[in-house]
């Protein structure tokens, strides 16, 4: 099994997102972090025919899996996949003139860059649009008392690379949570669905 097998959106989150997206009916969506395409598939299948999704990821291997399911579901024409670092991709959208035009932005990638994705995402988002960040409870490890040694003890069986990545991600999630808690540009709510999802409506 792949050591990153559990990074996908959970079925409970998927069901929640389907209901949310159907209610919002967004026409312009940005996704940061595709993996095998589950969340983008849900959003594409739950939106009007003229909806467009811009999706960013750096893995050709995993997004090839996503492409197969997008094709099978008949939603590939809605999705523009850009294989590049998301910070570059989001800036690219701004440079292309998309500032203030997006209805929904979903962040589910490297947590240590969430603070940057959030800021760039808010530039792209229209007033009243929704930005969602996944994994903001991060398996409970965002709690200040959860030490690096505790992270190592929990995950050392999965290897030093995964331990290092999860430690870095934990610190990134903590930094992100501290930042958005004080962000006056959004109406904010964190809910404990899945691994924690933070919602911000741009004011």
Task: Report the run of H or E that residue 90 belongs to, with start and end.
Answer: helix 86-95
Q: Which residues contact 133 (CB under 8 A, 6 or more apart)?
A: 107, 108, 114, 117, 118, 176, 180, 197, 198, 200
Position 13 confidence tier, pLDDT thresholds 50, 70, 90: confident
Q: What is the pLDDT of residue 130?
A: 98
The pLDDT of residue 111: 95
Digit-coded pLDDT (tens) for 133-171: 999 999 899 998 999 999 999 999 999 999 999 999 999
Q: Are strands 125-134 and 197-202 parallel, antiparallel or unpaired?
A: antiparallel
User: What whole-number distance in Å separates Cα of residue 158 and Cα of residue 172?
Assistant: 20
Whether this model's pTM surpasses 0.75: yes
pLDDT in tens, 14-61: 899 999 999 999 999 999 999 999 999 999 999 999 999 999 999 999
- CB-based contacts of 72: which residues, under 8 Å, 6+ apart? none
- How confident is the model over 72-131, as pLDDT tens digits? 999 999 999 999 999 999 999 999 999 999 999 999 999 999 999 999 999 999 999 999
**And the tokens for 141?**
């490890």
Question: 145, 144, 166, 142: which is closest to 154 by C-alpha?
Answer: 166
How many angstroms separate the CA atoms of 165 and 162, rounded? 5
Residue 193 pLDDT: 86
pLDDT at 34: 95
81 φψ region: left (φ > 0), alpha (ψ -120 to 50), beta (else):
beta
* CA atoms within a 13 Å half-sphere pointing along the CA-CB vector of 43: 27
Q: Closest by alpha carbon to 33, among 74, 11, 12, 4? A: 4
């Amino acid at each position: 099994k792949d050591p990153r097998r559990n990074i996908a959106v959970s079925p409970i989150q998927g069901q929640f997102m389907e209901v949310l997206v159907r209610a919002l009916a967004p026409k312009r969506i940005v996704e940061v972090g595709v993996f095998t395409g589950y969340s983008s598939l849900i959003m594409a299948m739950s939106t009007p025919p003229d909806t467009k999704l811009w999706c960013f990821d750096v893995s050709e291997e995993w997004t090839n899996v996503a492409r197969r399911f997008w094709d099978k579901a008949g939603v590939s024409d809605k999705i523009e996949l850009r294989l590049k670092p998301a910070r570059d991709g989001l800036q690219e959208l701004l440079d292309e003139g998309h500032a203030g035009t997006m209805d929904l932005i979903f962040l589910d990638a490297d947590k240590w860059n969430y603070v940057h994705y959030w800021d760039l995402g808010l530039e792209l988002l229209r007033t009243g649009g929704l930005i969602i960040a996944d994994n903001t409870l991060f398996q409970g490890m965002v709690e200040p008392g959860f030490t690096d040694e505790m992270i190592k003890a929990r995950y050392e069986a999965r290897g030093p690379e995964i331990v290092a990545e999860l430690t870095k991600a934990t610190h990134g999630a903590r930094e992100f949570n501290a930042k958005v808690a004080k962000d006056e540009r959004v109406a904010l709510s964190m809910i404990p669905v899945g691994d924690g999802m933070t919602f911000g409506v741009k004011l």
